[in-house]
Amino acid sequence: MKELEMSVTKKFLATAIIASSLFGGVSSATAADTKDAAIARAQAQATFKTQMDSYITAHRAIVDARRAAGAKALADFQAALANVTTDAQLQAAKDARKAAVAAAEATAKAAEAALVKPTKPAKPVKAAKPTASPTAAPKA
């Protein structure tokens, strides 16, 4: 007797699940739109990744150029220090280094300002899930 009740319960639940899926089902047109939207999102994400990689590469080049300019300014200053004999020469070497570092900073800031960071693609809007009322299984 219990086996018969279990079988009836399983059939009832299967019927309820099928009915609820048909009630809240997706039409073929909506499924195609969802697939097209997914393809568009994937393409937008791939484009964003490519743009972001280019942005990062350009930013690293700017940082490397600024560091190289700073290192050159330091090397020039150290070379000038070896030949300094007066306070005026020392001050001239300091001023030259300060000007070189300021120029490197200004160039780097201008280059960074010219970079345009790519915008992230919008996340898809989640569709509201259909609320299916739980059906009570018959109790024996």
- Tell whether 69 is covered by a domain: yes
Number of domains making up the chain: 1
* Cα torsion through 48, 54, 58, 64, rounded to 10: 110
Identify the pLDDT of residue 34: 82
Provide the CB-side half-sphere exposure for 92 (13 A, CA): 9
Integer Cα distance of 20 and 14 in angstroms: 10
- Tell whether 70 is covered by a domain: yes
Lookup result for tokens 């609320």: 131
- Tell whether 104 is covered by a domain: yes
- Tell whether 100 is covered by a domain: yes
Integer Cα distance of 59 and 55 in angstroms: 6
Q: The pTM is what?
A: 0.59
pLDDT tens, position by position, 72-88: 999 999 999 999 999 99
Q: How far is CA 122 from CA 5, 51, 129, in A?
A: 51, 15, 21
pLDDT tens, position by position, 114-139: 998 888 888 777 666 666 555 655 56
Residue 63: which domain range?
37-117
Q: Does the structure show a pLDDT above 90 at 26? A: no
- Tell whether 127 is covered by a domain: no
Coil, strand or helix at 83: coil
